[in-house]
């Protein structure tokens, strides 16, 4: 279905919000104001944005260690996210979980995940529950290229396929698992080829083109919702920053990084909006300004929020 102007501008706003959030986190992390590890989504914004624009309230998504973009695209509060990342009491986990534990069950956001490939069975389980309870929903699983080497990937695709579950497997192929290039960790070019081993369709899309992602996800989500079963969408993309903030990135060349930055999903979509006469440069700048304010407010919210008190030390902690 062709998107109208408002929907197109929403895609841009969503990508800009993720970019501004991530650049802000990078900035505060470099100043030593953020504890723990952060893995940023800069460069990959079109994937989460294009996919999540197709979702409805009853749908679920399972995320990864690089999960801020997925959470924002699903509508999670940037205030609560920022507070969590700053380690503050008003965060999603009262500041005790950090970047890789952000979850919002109300939004069907099953959580970021520090365990590579662990979102795959979670999404498959959510797909099973949706089908069993006849909820007409879909479950989305975002996962990386390296995650596609895990057993959980193969088991989940097999299970989802044989049970005809409403699951859309969204592979974010950014070409690396930490410092190891895809060419060094698997003997195939297209991860989408693996779908055929499980009897489901596999498609490759330009993951830096938000419209291409949107359209592929639209078809996949419709098909899954109508009982057509799972599908694997491979989105070719790239992370501009290192694996984590502080990564010296000695394993890749400046030429490679610059070639991908030339395909940056944000300026690319901004130009396309102008070519299509969907937006003027002034309208785009206005969105950028509005987003800057939203993220600046999120930082203020996070900075004002207290750190958890000592009484919180043993609450929400589970062991047996
Ligand atoms: C089960 C497991 N093995 C190893 C790790 C360490 N680890 C963290 S991120 C990562 C690479 C993930 O690469 P990919 O799936 O391509 O996602 P990307 O970081 O590129 O988004 C690894 C191996 C882990 N967290 N969990
Ligand atoms: Mg990767």
pLDDT tens, residue by residue, 195-247? 999 999 999 999 999 999 999 999 999 999 999 999 999 999 999 999 999 99
Ligand nearest to the Cα of 119, by number: 1
In a domain? residue 307 = no
Cα separation, 184 vs 168, in Å, equals: 27
In a domain? residue 306 = no
Output the CA 67–ligand 1 centroid distance in Å.
12
In a domain? residue 247 = yes
In this predicted structure, what is the pLDDT of residue 320?
58
Cα separation, 307 vs 302, in Å, equals: 10
In this predicted structure, what is the pLDDT of residue 317?
82
Supply the mean pLDDT for the chain. Answer: 97
In a domain? residue 320 = no
In a domain? residue 310 = no
pLDDT over 90 at 1, yes or no: no
Output the CA 281–ligand 1 centroid distance in Å.
38
In a domain? residue 312 = no
- Domain span at residue 195 reads 5-301
Average pLDDT value for residue range 294-312: 97
In this predicted structure, what is the pLDDT of residue 319?
75
Average pLDDT value for residue range 65-93: 98
In a domain? residue 65 = yes
Considering the chain, what percentage of its residues have pLDDT values greater than 90?
Answer: 97
Q: Whose CA is nearest to atom 2 of ligand 1?
A: 116
pLDDT tens, residue by residue, 86-142? 999 999 999 999 999 999 999 999 999 999 999 999 999 999 999 999 999 999 999
In a domain? residue 313 = no
Number of domains comprising the chain: 1
Output the CA 310–ligand 2 centroid distance in Å.
38
Report the CATH number that the domain containing residue 238 is assigned in CATH.
Answer: 3.40.50.970
């Amino acid at each position: 279905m062709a998107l109208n102007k408002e929907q197109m501008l929403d895609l841009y706003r969503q990508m800009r919000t993720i970019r501004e959030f991530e650049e802000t986190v990078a900035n505060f992390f470099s100043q030593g104001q953020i504890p723990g590890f952060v893995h940023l989504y800069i460069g990959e914004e079109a994937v989460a944005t294009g996919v999540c624009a197709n979702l409805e309230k009853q749908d679920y998504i399972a995320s990864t260690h690089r999960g801020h973009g997925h959470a924002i695209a699903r509508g999670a509060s940037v205030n609560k996210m920022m507070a969590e990342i700053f380690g503050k009491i008003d965060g999603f986990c009262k500041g005790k979980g950090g970047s890789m534990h952000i979850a919002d069950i109300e939004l069907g956001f099953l959580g970021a995940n520090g365990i590579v490939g662990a979102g795959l069975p979670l999404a498959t389980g959510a797909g099973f529950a949706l089908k069993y309870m006849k909820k007409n929903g879909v479950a989305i699983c975002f996962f990386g290229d390296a995650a596609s080497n895990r057993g959980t990937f193969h088991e989940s695709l097999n299970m989802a396929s044989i049970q005809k579950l409403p699951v859309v497997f969204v592979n974010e192929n950014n070409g690396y698992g930490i410092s190891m290039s895809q060419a060094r960790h698997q003997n195939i070019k297209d991860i989408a080829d693996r779908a055929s081993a499980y009897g489901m369709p596999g498609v490759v899309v330009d993951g830096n083109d938000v419209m291409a992602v949107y359209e592929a996800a639209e078809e996949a989500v419709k098909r899954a919702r109508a009982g057509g079963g799972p599908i694997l969408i491979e989105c070719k993309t790239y992370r501009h920053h290192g694996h984590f903030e502080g990564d010296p990135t000695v394993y890749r060349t400046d030429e490679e990084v610059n070639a991908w930055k030339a395909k940056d999903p944000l300026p690319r979509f901004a130009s396309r909006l102008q070519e299509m006469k969907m937006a003027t440069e002034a309208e785009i700048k206005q969105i950028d300004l509005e987003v800057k304010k939203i993220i600046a407010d999120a930082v203020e919210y996070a900075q004002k929020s207290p750190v958890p008190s000592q009484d919180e030390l043993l609450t929400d902690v589970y062991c047996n």
